[in-house]
Amino acid sequence: MARSKIALIGSGQIGGTLAHLAGLKELGDVVLFDIAEGTPQGKALDLYQSSPIDGFDSRLSGANDYSAIAGADVVIVTAGVPRKPGMSRDDLLGINLKVMSSVGQGIKENCPDAFVICITNPLDAMVWALQKFSGLPENKVVGMAGVLDSARFRTFLAMEFDVSVEDVTAFVLGGHGDTMVPLTRYSTVAGVPLPDLVKLGWTTQEKLDSIVQRTRDGGAEIVGLLKTGSAFYAPAAAAIQMAESYLKDKKRVLPCAAHLSGQFGVDDLYVGVPVVIGAGGVERIVEIELQGEEKAQFDKSVDAVKGLLDACKSIDTSLA
């Protein structure tokens, strides 16, 4: 069986880390693409030269021409501009919308059968625009945010409880970051829901609330520390988990920005919900019932995404 081909559009901080992880996990051959000349070629060669040491077989190459991504099985998109301190994800909207237009065209012409994972911010709007620009089926274009948000939540919970991160599961819905909806009753330590752990005295409601807030602000915390860009290790790890589930037909149940057409009462929007990712792309959307406050927060999140899409439609009238 031929090796899978993974195309990475954008060879910056996340793109380079994606290539490294895809190689280390032997997910397939990797093509790094970027508009910056030399960057994708240089990163590909550097990473290729790490393969004899780490013992992985993956051909890595770099390109500035979309023809190089022809026939890719998976495309992961990070092309665009990241946040600088003081900048909101929405400030990025205008710049990155133009980038999505050219990326969508490149995918449409070269690998229309690919599974596409978008990471570029503002995520919920960019993944929606990328699906429209590329014309790929809605179940083959998905956004990465929930896996990262829930990983941040899991990390902070494991720190608080002093238990293995592996035994902490977290369930988040909604838009990325500020409007994320953590479902504490579905988040557990080895199957014990967080509200029960509060009752058991493992933590207090106040501490739990502050962990939720820290998770919401997780991206900004890292931007503030790095000063020159945004998080890249954990975002790359999250997208690779999604790609692996598709390539190996693992059918992982992961929170992703998925296209909703009626589910959760939402139509033609990308919102973070639990989905099953397998060889068919987004094979199923897990439509759970939301309770009072959860529903209110989810609706607020959906409204925020709608606001972003309205802004996109006014910038690019072909999307209206």
The contact set with ligand A3D (CB under 6 A) reads 9-15, 34-36, 39, 78-80, 82-83, 92, 96, 99, 102, 119-121, 123, 144-145, 148, 176, 229-232, 235
How many angstroms separate the CA atoms of 248 and 26, rounded? 12
> Which CB, 101 or 187, lies closer to ligand A3D?
101
As measured in angstroms, the least distance from the Cβ of 224 to ligand A3D is 14
Catalytic position from the list 5, 43, 132, 176: 176
Check: CB of residue 33 under 8 Å from CB of residue 57.
Answer: no
174 annotated ligand-binding residue: no
> Which CB, 23 or 82, lies closer to ligand A3D?
82
Strands laid side by side in the 281-285 sheet:
60-63, 29-33, 5-9, 74-77, 115-118, 141-143, 252-261, 267-278, 281-285
As measured in angstroms, the least distance from the Cβ of 201 to ligand A3D is 34
Check: CB of residue 62 under 8 Å from CB of residue 11.
Answer: yes
Please tell me the number of Cα atoms within 13 Å of 157 on its side-chain side: 31
> Which CB, 36 or 190, lies closer to ligand A3D?
36
> What is the three-class DSSP state of 95?
helix
29 annotated ligand-binding residue: no
As measured in angstroms, the least distance from the Cβ of 257 to ligand A3D is 8
As measured in angstroms, the least distance from the Cβ of 21 to ligand A3D is 13
175 annotated ligand-binding residue: no
96 annotated ligand-binding residue: yes
12 annotated ligand-binding residue: yes
Check: CB of residue 130 under 8 Å from CB of residue 104.
Answer: yes
Name the DSSP class of 171.
-
> Which CB, 188 or 301, lies closer to ligand A3D?
301
Please provide residue 37's backbone torsions phi and psi, each rounded to the nearest 5 degrees.
-70, 135
> Which CB, 182 or 235, lies closer to ligand A3D?
235
Beta bridge partners of 32: 8, 62
- Closest residue by Cα to residue 61 from 70, 53, 120, 245: 70
Q: Which residue spans within the chain are E strands per DSSP?
A: 5-9, 29-33, 60-63, 74-77, 115-118, 141-143, 168-169, 172-174, 180-182, 188-189, 192-193, 252-261, 267-278, 281-285
**Is 20 in the active site?**
no
CB-count burial class (<10 Å; 0-12, 13-18, 19+) for 57: exposed
As measured in angstroms, the least distance from the Cβ of 77 to ligand A3D is 8
Active site residues: 176
List the binding residues for NAD(+). 10-15, 34, 96, 119-121
Residue set of the binding site for substrate: 83, 89, 121, 152
| Binding positions | 10-15, 34, 83, 89, 96, 119-121, 152
